[in-house]
Amino acid sequence: MREGLAASRRARLRRHVRGRRGAVGACCAVVSLVTLLAACGPAASGSAPGAALSASRGNAVTYAMEPGGQASYPFPFMGAQQIADDSVFNVDDFQYLLYRPLYWFGTGVSPYLNRQLSLAQLPVYHGHEVIIRLKHDYKWSNGEQVDARDVVFWLNMMIAEGQNDAYYSSTGLPSDITNVRAAGKFEVTMDITTAQFSQAWFTSNELSEVTPMPMAWDVTSLTGAAGSGGCASDSAADGWAKCKAVFNFLTAQSSKNASTLASSPLWKVVDGPWQLQSLSSLGKLVLTFNKHYSGPVAKGHITTLTELPFTSEQAEYNVLQDPTGNQAIDVGYLPTVDAPAPPAGALAGPNPPSLSNYNLTAQYLWQLSYMPYNFNNTTGQGAIFDQLYFRQAFQHLVDQEGVINGPLHGYGKPTVGPVTFYPQTKYLAPQIAAAGDEWTLNISAAENLLKQHGWTIRPNGTDTCARPGTSATECGANIPAGTQLKLTMIYAAGTDWMQSAARELASNASLAGIALTVTAESFNDVIDAAFGVKPTCTPRSCAWQLAFWGSWTYAPDYLPTGDTLFLGHAPNNAGNYNSSEDNQLIADTLQARTPAEFDRAMHTWDAYLTKQLPVVYEPDAATLIEAIKGLDIGPQNSADTLTPEFWHYLK
């Protein structure tokens, strides 16, 4: 993925629609976790409109998933051909509810590490040795404790089968660790091979990927004795060699027809607060509370969670407006195109009259809203995308404020660089925060940039390169005379505001003489094209030119250090942007020795890449959560983690 530096393989792609994550809030850091939601959650009255409806739900909640996908893959180790499935549908809405990652992120509205909900204490670094001490109170549903062997099992699997992980890096985790061992029942140690590294980065972007796996999974058949597969062994020669058969078995079991997963004894062994009751082939997922869960929960929490998939926002909205129907939604989302604009200065406005039984909240997730250029596309436009002046001109055609005030109805914020403004974190460069958006809609500026670099401008026609060459007033390297500015863009169907944004961009581009053809495709097809899942299409040899699906959630790589999306040749670098200066600045962030050095390196890199425009920055849409009145889902988590074990109906 990068030269000499580790990177993420498991950050998730998400459709840019909504947020709905109830999580423990920072406002109650000193309060008992059992009473956190009662103390921090939004006020709601049992006698308010809708209280009778919520009372009739008992301890069950029906939850609307984002449109266009569904849960289907329980194994928390994503196969290389499953990148389109490595999304919020499978990870956040399914796997994380059943199987807890080693470190949990999201504290209130901040994406920082949540010590209370993590399975382990903060890691201890002694030079290049890392010591992980697990808490003693977490158990698997079969009664066994979550211990060091379960962590070694996952790490051995990654060491042995990393190339089959969806985001494998030959130089990242696990290649940057060695001597992995269980030093005690609850203690794991390992050595980091990278000469210099940031401890904050290693914790937030490497250890955050680890998900302990039970010994019941260390088998090669459903009748095998727990641990008989040998993958969890401390012996590298023994354990790693045996992981392949275990991996192949678990992958095959996880890939079975969705309707058969609930009956498998494998997926019944969980350490999270939820267990699988049923999953239909159409994606309806029913989870029940794991009575053996030993982590923190809210008093009177719900005990059944039903997740419903939808093909579009409108389909979900139609069901949401009928809270007494057979498949009534208790926690769903309001499409921004149907939301009344919020009052000036308010985070959320009034609900439509049809949703008077719901409470509305707006949330901004820890994510990057962007559309990559394919610098290595097979149709020749990569040479055009290589030109900074063109990327500047094209960004001037994106009317972020128009989209925010138009189809988003005020529920959005502009994106100006790789570190987003919302939620606010210390990683944003101060000079970028002060400058704001330098590339607002300006068609004249776009035309002038193109004209100054040798293009003949034909508004509502097609610009052509009149001055080929590499000087400051010519079109640029590998752009022949007569080249036309004809581009194509694919975008994910099913989200109204994204369709509006795509069409408006095409219209603005036409005014500057850029013929942009936009085509709607399914979410999975857009992802498959951009990230090269299809055998005939890789990021290095695809005809696609621009791809827009929404956003990239910074999870489980919670530090936006750039090694995931913008390092040259990183698998998640969909458009294959590659800059030696960018690569070095990313290396500086990952190698910072102290927190102060890390902050300085982050700010320098953020400022540089904001100016370079390696992707098209798009508006960050707020996600509008609707919760039935009388149901407390607590403060919403920007780290995109779902914790329904804290949801409860108010009496």
Query: Domain boundaries in the chain?
Result: 367-621
SS3 for 387-454 is: CHHHHHHHHCCCCHHHHHHCCCCCCEECCCCCCCCCCCCCCCCHHHHHHCCCCCCCHHHHHHHHHHCC
pLDDT for the residue 267? 97
Residue 462 confidence (pLDDT) above 60 = yes
Mean predicted confidence (pLDDT) in 494-510: 94
Strands 631-632 and 648-649: antiparallel
pLDDT for the residue 51? 62
Strands 367-372 and 550-553: antiparallel
pLDDT tens figures, 600-638: 999 999 999 999 999 999 999 988 999 999 999 988 788
Residue 466 confidence (pLDDT) above 50 = yes
When pLDDT is cut at 50, 70 and 90, the band that residue 18 belongs to is very low
Work out the number of other CB atoms within 10 angstroms of the CB of residue 81.
14
When pLDDT is cut at 50, 70 and 90, the band that residue 108 belongs to is confident
Cα–Cα distance list, 410 to 252, 353, 366 (Å) = 46, 18, 19
Work out the number of other CB atoms within 10 angstroms of the CB of residue 288.
16
Q: What is the DSSP string of 131-183?
A: EEEB-SS-B-TTS-B--HHHHHHHHHHHHHHGGGBTT--SSSTTTTEEEEEEE
User: What is the number of helices (H) and of strands (E) in the chain?
Assistant: 16, 26
pLDDT for the residue 85? 59
C-alpha 533/C-alpha 85 separation (Å) is 11
Beta bridge partners of 113: 105
C-alpha 231/C-alpha 5 separation (Å) is 26
C-alpha 448/C-alpha 41 separation (Å) is 52
For residues 506 and 176, the model is more confident at 506
Residue 488 confidence (pLDDT) above 50 = yes
Q: What percent of the chain has pLDDT over 90?
A: 65
The residue among 506, 558, 497, 533 whose CA lies nearest residue 398 is 506
In this structure, what token pair is assigned to residue 172? Answer: 């990242």
Residue 6 confidence (pLDDT) above 70 = no
Mean pLDDT of the chain: 86
Please state which of the ranges 166-175, 430-439, 478-487, 603-612 shows the lowest mean pLDDT. Answer: 166-175
pLDDT for the residue 77? 85
pLDDT for the residue 118? 97
Which amino acid is present at 553? T
In this structure, what token pair is assigned to residue 14? Answer: 């998400």
Mean predicted confidence (pLDDT) in 108-131: 93
Contact of 36 with 641, CB cutoff 8 Å: no
C-alpha 445/C-alpha 453 separation (Å) is 13
pLDDT for the residue 645? 97
C-alpha 250/C-alpha 202 separation (Å) is 28
Note the helical H segments in 494-579.
496-511, 523-531
The residue among 522, 397, 509 whose CA lies nearest residue 460 is 509
Mean predicted confidence (pLDDT) in 334-353: 89
pLDDT tens figures, 158-169: 888 877 765 555
Q: Give the range with max mean pLDDT: 2-16, 223-237, 268-282.
A: 268-282
pLDDT for the residue 555? 82
When pLDDT is cut at 50, 70 and 90, the band that residue 50 belongs to is low
460: left (phi over 0), alpha (psi -120 to 50) or beta: left
For residues 89 and 276, the model is more confident at 276
Work out the number of other CB atoms within 10 angstroms of the CB of residue 71.
27
Contact of 358 with 370, CB cutoff 8 Å: no
Mean predicted confidence (pLDDT) in 222-238: 87
CATH of domain 367-621: 3.10.105.10
Mean predicted confidence (pLDDT) in 535-558: 78
pLDDT for the residue 390? 98
Strands 129-133 and 187-192: antiparallel
When pLDDT is cut at 50, 70 and 90, the band that residue 349 belongs to is confident
Contact of 411 with 342, CB cutoff 8 Å: yes
Count Cβ atoms within 10 A of the Cβ of residue 224 and give its class: 0-12 exposed, 13-18 middle, 19 or more buried: middle
Mean predicted confidence (pLDDT) in 442-454: 98
pLDDT tens figures, 547-580: 999 888 888 889 999 988 999 988 789 999 999 9
pLDDT for the residue 651? 79
pLDDT for the residue 539? 52
Contact of 545 with 488, CB cutoff 8 Å: yes
Q: Which long-range contacts (CB under 8 A, 24 or more apart) does 463-467 make?
A: 463/512, 463/513, 463/514
Cα–Cα distance list, 2 to 169, 247, 332, 380 (Å) = 7, 25, 39, 25
Which amino acid is present at 282? L
- Reported as type and span, the H/E element at residue 625 is strand 623-628
Residue 409 confidence (pLDDT) above 80 = yes
Mean predicted confidence (pLDDT) in 518-544: 75
pLDDT tens figures, 285-337: 999 999 999 999 999 999 999 999 998 889 999 999 998 877 799 999 998 88
pTM across the whole model: 0.84
Mean predicted confidence (pLDDT) in 239-243: 81
